[in-house]
Structure 1
Amino acid sequence: MTKWSGFDTPTYVGLQNYKYMFTMDPTFWPGLKATILYALISVPLGLALGLGLAMLLNRNLPGIKIFRTLFYLPVVLPIVATSTLWLFVYEPQFGLANNVLKALGLKPVEWLTDSHTALLSLVVLALWGVGSNMIIFLGGLQSVPTDVYEAAEIDGASKFRIFFNVTIPLITPTLFLQLITGMIGSFQTFVQPAILTKDGGPDFSTMLLNFSIYKNAFQGQDFGYAIAQVWVLFVLIILFTIIAFKSSSSFVYYENESK
């Protein structure tokens, strides 16, 4: 509730920061929409891809540990280096992405300068680090008792039925953990738009809230307004977490509760 440049004495302004945020800031509502869309697209895709990879790598095959390591390797790379690498992948004329499209006979895409594809480009970069989801899902899959699978096979259940009626229910605690941490992490995304689009464009389509906070605080020298945005982001995360926990009883199965 102050106006503060970070260097002078804070001046109390009451609710003026919030009034400006909700009624006059041209970047806030597009940024909020982009943040929610980014979370709603990247998190479910990350969960699905992570679980799929975990299912593929949950096998006792020669060299399987090497494949697990390779899929996890992007996670341990610095996010700044990874984002810079993808900056070259999305380069319009010579980037790998458009070269692949040209090889397939398709038109090149302005990945980072088109408002229709810029946010999706960030989502693809988020999926590059899906190895973290894979590792946690792998631990969840390996904790499922083998006798449950044996009983299902004796009853004649197909692999499809076993996956949806046995595997998924028994790993829902792991799935719930991944959902909560994934959504919170997506709301706090900063490095990717800062490196790939630099200004949150085009048309504020990648102006994620955490990036907007940084720009207002450290580039606009308006720490009071940036902190007001932090509170909005905090409330957004808390609301999602409360909703997720309140609804978890309808889809999260804890084995001990059935005993």
Structure 2
Amino acid sequence: MKKSFWKKDGTMGYLFILPGIIGFLFFVAYPLLSSVYFSMTKWSGFDTPKYIGLANFKYMFTTDPTFWPGLKATILYSLISVPLGLVLGLLLAMLLNKNLAGIKIFRTLFYLPVVLPIVATSTLWLFVYEPQFGLANNVLKLFGLNPVEWLTDSRTALMSLIVIALWGVGSNMIIFLGGLQSVPNDVYEAAEIDGAGKFRSFFNVTIPLITPTLFLQLITGMIGAFQTFVQPSILTKDGGPDFSTMLLNFSIYKNAFQGQDFGYAIAQVWVLFVLIILFTIIAFKSSSSFVYYENDSK
């Protein structure tokens, strides 16, 4: 029996995926490829792009006084805030993984900072870090300590942003909570029969079984940290002091929308993209050494 046109060689299937292919070409592939060209242009966003080759990248790596401090701040921010967030999120999840009366209220309270608007919470932290009347320095005064210039001292500005990131640790907590509740109870019972205490059960049972969740949190957390923008834009305004909070995503915004240099900003976007890709590749390559899956044959 002769096949109809619609059934021949999967034609109907290709027609079903055609909208997705068109959307990918127009909204992903074309912008991605065109950004390669625009990164090698002098372009204000309003005039005709002028091709200048690799001049933007040469200026970035050799002349721009903000790039290397910004790159250092971005890497430090990510390498400090993400591991601390994972540890605190796991500890909170362990504490809240109990069948106690009112435990859902505490889970909600710890998760609440995540659902609050980030601009509003950043503005709130601006008042917390206020040098004279802010909550942070008032607490220090209670212990007889000198006030700290939280956002105007290059030694403390970046760490102040990291504290804000840790305040939103509820997102890590809620995912870890799901991971902990997926661990079978019979595994803990077997460990207890073998004489393992709470401490050994945590490191030899709990941690290995939630490493897929941990790995997911690591990847998404690092990608999110590399793209941090709102906190430095609201709390430090110009990425100061001494470019100590000039995170790359914030620098991209300043160059594009304040400096009207979209060509250079797009070149920075590609550097940030490569940085994220490199980290992701390293993480996936090394994941086999610490991520355990229940169906793993090893």
Length-normalised TM-score, structure 2? 0.86
Question: C-alpha displacement at 1:84, in angstroms?
Answer: 0.1
Distance in 2, Cα, partners of 1:93 & 1:40? 31
User: Percent same amino acid among aligned pairs?
Assistant: 91
Is residue 7 of structure 1 aligned with residue 46 of structure 2? yes
Q: Deviations over 1:163-198 (max 9, x none)?
A: 000000000000000000000000000000000000
Question: C-alpha displacement at 1:158, in angstroms?
Answer: 1.4
Where structure 1 has 5 or more consecutive residues not aligned to the other structure, the ranges are none
Distance in 2, Cα, partners of 1:2 & 1:258? 52
Distance in 2, Cα, partners of 1:248 & 1:140? 18
Question: C-alpha displacement at 1:156, in angstroms?
Answer: 1.1
Question: C-alpha displacement at 1:148, in angstroms?
Answer: 0.3
Match of 1:236 in 2: 275
Distance in 2, Cα, partners of 1:132 & 1:155? 34
SS of the aligned residue for 2:252 comes to: helix
Structure 2 CA distance for partners of 1:76 and 1:33, relative to 1, 3 Å: same
Question: C-alpha displacement at 1:257, in angstroms?
Answer: 1.2
Distance in 2, Cα, partners of 1:258 & 1:137? 25
SS of the aligned residue for 1:239 comes to: helix
Distance in 2, Cα, partners of 1:164 & 1:96? 38
Distance in 1, Cα, partners of 2:225 & 2:260? 25
Question: C-alpha displacement at 1:46, in angstroms?
Answer: 0.2
Q: Deviations over 1:6-32 (max 9, x none)?
A: 100000000000000000000000000
Distance in 1, Cα, partners of 2:158 & 2:177? 29
Distance in 2, Cα, partners of 1:106 & 1:167? 40
Distance in 1, Cα, partners of 2:238 & 2:159? 16
Root-mean-square deviation (CA, aligned residues, Å) is 0.7
Match of 2:133 in 1: 94
Aligned residues: 259
Distance in 1, Cα, partners of 2:113 & 2:276? 26
Q: Deviations over 1:60-97 (max 9, x none)?
A: 00000000000000000000000000000000000000
SS of the aligned residue for 1:255 comes to: coil
Distance in 1, Cα, partners of 2:73 & 2:296? 39
Match of 1:70 in 2: 109
Distance in 2, Cα, partners of 1:99 & 1:155? 51
Match of 2:8 in 1: none
Where structure 2 has 5 or more consecutive residues not aligned to the other structure, the ranges are 1-39
Q: Deviations over 1:27-55 (max 9, x none)?
A: 00000000000000000000000000000
Distance in 1, Cα, partners of 2:141 & 2:115? 32
Match of 1:150 in 2: 189
Question: C-alpha displacement at 1:258, in angstroms?
Answer: 3.6
